[in-house]
Amino acid sequence: MLFAEKIRQLREERQLFQRQVSAFLEIDNALYCKIERGDRLAKREQVTAIAKFLLIDKNELLTLWLADKILGLIENEVQIADDALNIAKESINKRK
């Protein structure tokens, strides 16, 4: 819930309502509330739109969003998660 916590923090700092963010995203307020609670994962294009609306670097939000996706995949794989992450990192480095 790294992403969810960050967008809630930013929204509250800017004294905005959830309905204002959901209106900007053109999504139902209930859906946005689920995203902000971490009950639903935002789509990539929604992440970049939220970054624009909250005036934050999109890469910062995308990084947190992606970290949440990764955590969701490996949270029940404690014994092999480190090895899998290392293999993925090596593969990424080879592509550079």
Average pLDDT, the chain: 96
For the segment 21-33, the average pLDDT, to the nearest whole number, is 98
Mean pLDDT of the 12-30 span: 98
- What's residue 96's pLDDT? 78
Across 54-72, average pLDDT: 96
Domain regions of the chain by residue span: 2-95
CATH no., domain 2-95: 1.10.260.40
User: Please, which contacts does 54-61 make with residues 24 or more away whose CB atoms are closer than 8 Å?
Assistant: 54/7, 54/10, 54/11, 54/14, 54/16, 54/21, 55/14, 56/10, 60/6, 61/3, 61/6, 61/7
Q: Which of 19-43 are b and which e, b meaning 16 or more Cβ less than 10 Å from the residue's Cβ?
A: eebbeebebeeeebeebbeeeebbe
Question: For the whole prediction, is pTM greater than 0.85?
Answer: yes
